[in-house]
Structure 1
Amino acid sequence: MGNVLPIPGPEWCDDGGAGAISDAGGLHLHQLRLHAEYGGVVRFQLPGAGVAVSVSDPLVLEQTARIDERPASLFAFLEPLCEAGNLQVIGAEEHGPWRRVLLEVFAGRPSHERHFGEFVSLVEEVAERWGGAGGDAVPLQKDLTALSLRMICAYALGGVGVGVGVGVGSEVVRAEDVVDAFEVVLSGDDGTEQQTSLDYLRSTVDRVIAAREESDRGADRSDLIGALLAAGTTPARIRDTVMVTMLAAHHTTGVAVSWTLHLLGRHPEVAERVAAELDRVLGERSAPDYGDLRELTYLEMVLKESMRLYPPGPYGAREATEDMVLDGADGTYEIPAGTTVFYPFWAVHMNPDHWPEPAKFVPERFTPEAVAQRSRFAYVPFGLGPRSCEGAGLAMVEAQLTLAVLLKRFRFRPVAGHEVTPVERFVLWAADDIPMVVTPRAVGD
């Protein structure tokens, strides 16, 4: 351990840091600038949290990875979805057992295989619609976000995602109604419409849970609701879990896939290599089986490099539960208990000490040999430690499947003159979507 240094950072402003973020063009760009100027550990003003310490140094990330608390104020926006306690900030003692149940189902092959056929059908519906676009550009993020919602509805609600009101009597619950309700709830507006949408979401999930309790499938542990029922979870906690899961998943996979297609459209040589791999593994088949995914190694590398350049969830945060002394590449620092530790995933992924020429799209960064030479905390698209994303495995299956089906059928070409600009939302979105022109391809083309 070296001498303890003061954590560097910009001068304090009376506006709590909002002006600096606005001047930079958003929090992502602000973080990139801070770390470029001050190094891997930076003290800064974060609106809603006061003083925060931002970390882009993987060595320091590793030392904070065991923290199992989040700053409640930064996740208060999720409270409308959580009547049984905000699942994103519940204490470590309660969070641990709940997380283990989720990992049982989200990370398990039986769960993935069981829903794989449903996922294939949903992706093929999008492919059929795009195939009839007649040369017009398709809006990637709009369509793929809707696809992601249908997938997670099918996964969490037992078939709702494919337009079948399984477990809800004769009523058909449309995915479009669910996404519309989510958008209203998260709009930040307090009013009748927001409450009506929230009531609709809760009542829909409650009806599915009640029906599952009465059915033979109530204890199916390869299913989200079934696993939570089998674990003795209360209906209120199950409902909250389903709603937060749908919120987290209905954007993330679609955003990751759309950024990947955007990059492939600008790197046709990489797209051709992906197409060749798909033709070799799938032959004349239009979609993979679950077991085929492990053979699509280059496709996985492309997806991971895309999520490095455009991490769908661009940052995370923890709250230090004790005084900490952290050794980083730039020095040794003290962080007092109660400090908000901010994780700017985009800045971590653009750290030139771990990613040479970080702005370049190079899928070969994710060969087994290259991965073995890097800190595992240099790449954190799903977060880190005990608060990392429980659905990471499922999200990768969904994304790889979606890319495999779409790239087996189509080539993707950027729309001339359209500038794709990342913007900050709940996920890393694109201003004015990512429109692309799709053209059919055949095996060997």
Structure 2
Amino acid sequence: MRIPGPEMRDDGGVGAISDAGGLHLYQLRLHAEYGGVVQFQLPGVGVAVSVSDPLVLEETARIDERPAALFSFLEPLCEAGNLQVIGAEEHGPWRRVLLEVFAGRPSHERHFGEFVSLVEGLAERWDGDGDSGGVGVGVGAGRVPVLLQKDLTALSLRMICAYALGGADGAGSGVVEAEKVVDAFEVVLSEDNSTNQRASLALDYLRATVDRVIAAHEGREGREARAGQERRGDRSDLIHALLATRTSPARIRDTVMVTMLAAHHTTGVAVSWTLHLLGRHPEVAERVAAELDRVLGDRSAPDYGDLRELTYLDMVLKESMRLYPPGPYGARETTEDMVLDGADGTYEIPAGTTVFYPFWAVHMNPDHWPEPAKFVPERFAPEAVAARSRFAYVPFGVGPRSCEGAGLAMVEAQLTLAVLLKRFRFRPVEGHEVTPVERFVLWAADDIPMVVTPRASR
């Protein structure tokens, strides 16, 4: 059966995407018109098959190859081969190493205290002059609003820098100058690395910084080995785990660099959209605050073990990422002919086809999400989750190429929300329209300004 979709255009589909207001909106329109499986023109690829039906998506989840053309923008960051498109045989073992660190409790607990300090530092800056009881630095109390994306993505970059470059041989010993790393990443992310000297110098600085940290780790481990103190099996330290693989220095550096890049916006964007939704649903925000008061008491921040008690906060965060998935797309490339069984028929797709995953369209599929545009955290109550396909909610991707850092990102986001919502109320700025656009992540076009006030002020 022929896969439905729009007529082919001479411009490769660029005009249709532009007319819709962006690829994310175009995908919503396509799937609303043609169903859960759609054939369309994807610039840079040619013709792709887009899947928003969770049951069909599950049939493709085992694919372990990505279309190289869609990830070529990362090539300047990787000297040992683009990590996003390395072959399945090489990718599988490397993924297992990363999961042992990113998904493990020892890693989260080891860095949790530093994460708390970073979030509380932002809260203190927002609070400003605590002695006068007002919200300082010109924000809150009805004055200049906070720009959520600006501040929270900067926070998330500091958190991943602390995670990937910190520790005894990192920021604490002067090997890493955190502020310079943050500034360099902003340059690399916002400018053309191939032609811009400033971006090239920033990239050189980041590589040199990572090399220094790796060398410091190697020196420490050499000293420990001579003293008979090897940390065998330690999977709480990213660079230690990478060094233990005995792979090339370039591959280790590339992995740290891409980790920092991938994590730069994810947490900050997820928290920003969550606060945006809570500002428009104050009754939900009050319920979150009540849960925080019950679990934390007079404490300003949770311990690591408290996160599992913040069940409603977890539901709110997940519903926010359903409505605004930080990474709006995924893609795979079939390595063999496949047959997909959709609701409207059976479709044959040949080897070499780009299978496109529009996560926003998956999350807005009305067959799996009644009234999908509504903000309903109770969708993630345990009984509701058990009754739904697990592929109906895929904010971190699917299968063997899903995000290895999903567990870490959730810890960071839950912690950040807990600290900020224990301390502040958030109110949207009247007259400001928040418009989602796709960038490296699902961004808000003109940021998300919010009026921030201490919860003690009513």
TM-score range, shorter-chain basis?
Answer: over 0.9
Q: Kindly state the Cα deviation for residue 168 of structure 1 after the two structures are TM-superposed.
A: 1.8
CA distance, structure 2, for counterparts of residue 166 and residue 335 of structure 1 = 54
Q: Secondary structure at the match of 2:395?
A: coil
Say yes or no: does 1:191 pair with 2:196: yes
Q: Kindly state the Cα deviation for residue 232 of structure 1 after the two structures are TM-superposed.
A: 1.8
Say yes or no: does 1:254 pair with 2:268: yes
Q: Secondary structure at the match of 2:82?
A: coil
CA distance, structure 1, for counterparts of residue 80 and residue 193 of structure 2 = 21
Residues 366-377 of structure 1: matches in 2 within 5 Å?
366-377=380-391
CA 1:174–1:259 in 2, change beyond 3 Å: closer, same or farther? same
- Determine if contact 1:153/1:159 at 8 Å carries over to the other structure: no
**One-letter code aligned to 1:139:** L
Residues 271-420 of structure 1: matches in 2 within 5 Å?
271-420=285-434
Q: Kindly state the Cα deviation for residue 424 of structure 1 after the two structures are TM-superposed.
A: 1.1
Say yes or no: does 1:121 pair with 2:117: yes
Say yes or no: does 1:150 pair with 2:169: no
Say yes or no: does 1:168 pair with 2:180: no
Q: Secondary structure at the match of 1:44?
A: strand
Q: Kindly state the Cα deviation for residue 177 of structure 1 after the two structures are TM-superposed.
A: 2.1
Structure 1 residue aligned with 2:248: 234
Q: Kindly state the Cα deviation for residue 159 of structure 1 after the two structures are TM-superposed.
A: 4.9
CA distance, structure 1, for counterparts of residue 443 and residue 281 of structure 2 = 20
Of 278-287 and 211-220, more deviation after overlay is shown by 211-220
CA 1:24–1:188 in 2, change beyond 3 Å: closer, same or farther? farther
Q: Kindly state the Cα deviation for residue 320 of structure 1 after the two structures are TM-superposed.
A: 0.4
- Determine if contact 1:149/1:175 at 8 Å carries over to the other structure: no
Q: Secondary structure at the match of 1:147?
A: helix
Gaps of 5+ in 1: none
Residues 67-86 of structure 1: matches in 2 within 5 Å?
67-86=63-82
Instruction: Give the RMSD, CA atoms, in angstroms.
Output: 1.8
Q: Kindly state the Cα deviation for residue 209 of structure 1 after the two structures are TM-superposed.
A: 0.6
Q: Kindly state the Cα deviation for residue 188 of structure 1 after the two structures are TM-superposed.
A: 6.0
Task: Give the one of 105, 111, 117 matched to 1:109.
Answer: 105
Say yes or no: does 1:12 pair with 2:8: yes
Q: Kindly state the Cα deviation for residue 176 of structure 1 after the two structures are TM-superposed.
A: 3.0
**One-letter code aligned to 2:209:** T
- Determine if contact 2:165/2:171 at 8 Å carries over to the other structure: no
CA distance, structure 2, for counterparts of residue 53 and residue 134 of structure 1 = 47
- Determine if contact 1:40/1:56 at 8 Å carries over to the other structure: yes
**One-letter code aligned to 2:90:** E
Q: TM-score w.r.t. structure 1 length?
A: 0.95
Q: TM-score w.r.t. structure 2 length?
A: 0.92
Q: Kindly state the Cα deviation for residue 442 of structure 1 after the two structures are TM-superposed.
A: 4.2
CA distance, structure 2, for counterparts of residue 419 and residue 337 of structure 1 = 43
Residues 24-43 of structure 1: matches in 2 within 5 Å?
24-43=20-39
CA distance, structure 2, for counterparts of residue 342 and residue 439 of structure 1 = 42
CA 1:104–1:395 in 2, change beyond 3 Å: closer, same or farther? same
Task: Give the one of 204, 213, 219 matched to 2:209.
Answer: 204
Gaps of 5+ in 2: 129-138, 225-229
Q: Kindly state the Cα deviation for residue 370 of structure 1 after the two structures are TM-superposed.
A: 0.3
Q: Secondary structure at the match of 1:45?
A: strand
- Determine if contact 1:70/1:88 at 8 Å carries over to the other structure: yes
Once the two structures are superposed, what CA deviation does each residue of 1:82-127 show, in whole Å capped at 9, x if it has no partner?
0011000000000000000000000000000000000000000000
Identity among equivalent positions (%) equals: 84
- Determine if contact 1:422/1:430 at 8 Å carries over to the other structure: yes
Structure 1 residue aligned with 2:87: 91
CA distance, structure 2, for counterparts of residue 400 and residue 173 of structure 1 = 24
CA distance, structure 1, for counterparts of residue 218 and residue 7 of structure 2 = 57
Q: Secondary structure at the match of 2:283?
A: helix
